[in-house]
A = this chain, B = another copy of it.
Amino acid sequence: MSSATIKDVAKLAGVSPSTVSRVLSQHPKISPATVRKVKEAMETLGYHPNIMAKSLVSKSTQTLGLVLPRSAEELFINPFFSEVLRGMLAYANTAKYDLLMSSAHSQQEELEAVNRMVMGRRVDGIILMAPRKSDPIVDRLREHDFPFVLLGRSVDYDDVLCVNNDNRKAAYDATNHLIEQGHTRIGYVSGPPDLVVSEDRLAGYREALAEANLPCNREWLVGTEILEKSGFHAISLVMNLPERPTAFVIADDVVAFGLIRELYQAGLSVPQDVSIVSFNNIVMSELSNPPISTIDIGIYHLGYLTVQQLIRKISGEAITQPQITVPHRLIVRGSSVRSHK
């Protein structure tokens, strides 16, 4: 039951394939009568254009590539990912684009996947998530002048499209909030250290402390992976220090969840003994006990705008602002304010 081709439609409608193609692409100079005939024929045959053939000649696939970074395991478990994907799909959908996803377990596979997509002309543009410092793939795509957009900040070039938060400022705000609550010993639990975002946030944290003339003890810097479990031991180490922090800025809500639980088991409670501010404002941060104070970074928007920028680039629209910053805002909840001091 192989599907009908443009020729079948042409034959049934009594016109040439060219005419059918013109009807398909809504060519202006075509008589209403013919349009009707052709559409009728398409209907009765259940015709749908073969996208491969179409792409082959028109060189446009209406598809965007999304290669998941090799740290996908971490990302995935985090609701951050589904939310950003939701934003991406939302815009893609309005522009009639689809998303082609590929996952990679190693940098080698990552490069292969990009090559398959890009060089194989399988996608019109590509989205790169969570860039590391100086990513070879970025260089590659830049050389080939292939449309792509970074979800995150570009370290090396300032002409590449990217959509990002002001992570430095966000961490600065988070830290400042804790300072305003009267904390003087504030720790930091970071994400994967080679991610650009981790670096930026650490900088903002440091800046806020410096500005308030507060100490930034190396021992209070927990360098955990984004997965919640890995940080556990580190946390107990920190909390057993003679001079232990009374508050933490945490790079991710999921990590915060783990931390709260860990502290609870150690007999410490949030926010009475330790205050907490984290990042992302995932749905469950509001439902936690206590609810988690967090920086809402507009994840959905991040995804939405990323795709919007990419599609603009592909359509050849002039891009006035290659680097977009999505605003963040601090949401204060129970984890960082003690009801009765």
Chain A residues packing against B (C-beta within 8 Å): 1, 3, 46-53, 55-56, 61, 63, 68, 72-73, 76-79, 81-83, 85-86, 89-90, 92-93, 98-105, 109, 115-116, 119-122, 144-145, 228, 254, 257-258, 260-261, 264, 283-284, 287-289, 291
Contacts and interface: CB of A to CB of B under 8 A. Distances in A.
Contact of A119 (B46, B61, B83, B86): B46
Given A93-B103, A100-B99, A53 B56 contact: yes
Given A100-B63, A257-B284, A284-B284, A120 B49 contact: yes
A104 B89 CA distance: 9
25 contacts: A47-B119, A49-B120, A50-B56, A51-B120, A51-B121, A51-B122, A52-B55, A52-B121, A53-B56, A72-B89, A73-B86, A76-B83, A76-B85, A93-B104, A93-B109, A98-B100, A98-B101, A99-B102, A101-B101, A228-B283, A228-B287, A254-B283, A257-B284, A288-B289, A289-B289
A24 to B, nearest CB: 12
Given A115-B48, A257-B287, A284-B257, A105 B82 contact: no
Given A77-B79, A82-B76, A100-B63, A261 B287 contact: yes
The DSSP consensus for interface residues of chain A is helix
Nearest to A146: B1
Given A48-B115, A82-B85, A99-B101, 18 more contacts: A49-B120, A51-B121, A51-B122, A52-B52, A52-B56, A53-B56, A76-B82, A86-B103, A93-B105, A98-B100, A99-B102, A100-B100, A101-B101, A260-B287, A260-B289, A261-B287, A261-B291, A264-B289
A82 B48 CA distance: 31
Query: Nearest 7 pairs between A and B by C-beta?
Result: A48-B119, A51-B120, A89-B103, A257-B287, A82-B82, A76-B86, A52-B56
A76 B98 CA distance: 17
Contacts of A103: 86, 89-90, 92-93
- Most B-side CB within 10 Å, residue of A50, A61, A98, A116: A98
Contacts of A144: 1
A323 B150 CA distance: 41
A178 to B, nearest CB: 21
A86 to B, nearest CB: 4
A120 B89 CA distance: 20
A185 B291 CA distance: 29
A134 B179 CA distance: 58
Contacts of A109: 93
Contacts of A89: 68, 72, 101-103
